[in-house]
Amino acid sequence: MITNLFVYGTLRRNAQRDAVQQAAHEKLARHSRWLGTATVDGKLYPLGEFFVLVYPERERVPGEVYAVDPAQWRPVIEYLDDYEGSDYRRDVVQAQLDHGEMISAWAYLLNRAS
């Protein structure tokens, strides 16, 4: 079971956030281990005041990867699914950590049905 999560927006460690976004980041950080910075083959597109990842694309999108505690996967991911909303869907991407290792990770992508 894949329990890694690639994040590229308000869930990153040093992102600017409001109180709701901070609560989501804290939920993720409390129940996971930060693996490091990474990139995926994708492109960010504006969606209102936020950006959404389209994967795969020819550009490289920077972000971070977290290894979520498998025992906490379900409550954490259900919380984050609600936080991200219907414009996003969760899917597996291939992320390259800064030291070169490629890993599978979930990421929130554009929900093309939106």
So what's the pLDDT on residue 33?
98
- Residue 58 DSSP label: S
Which among 1, 81, 6 has a CA at the least distance from the CA of 42? 6
Q: Which residues of the chain have pLDDT under 50?
A: none
Domain encompassing residue 105: 4-110
pTM here?
A: 0.95
Helix, coil or strand: residue 8: coil
> What's 22's domain CATH number?
3.10.490.10
How buried is residue 55: exposed, middle or buried, by Cβ count under 10 Å (0-12/13-18/19+)?
A: middle
What does the pLDDT look like over 11-39, one tens digit per residue? Answer: 999 999 999 999 999 999 999 999 999 99
Report how far Cα 76 is from the mean position of its chain's Cα atoms: 12
So what's the pLDDT on residue 113?
62
So what's the pLDDT on residue 112?
78
Q: How many domains does the chain have?
A: 1
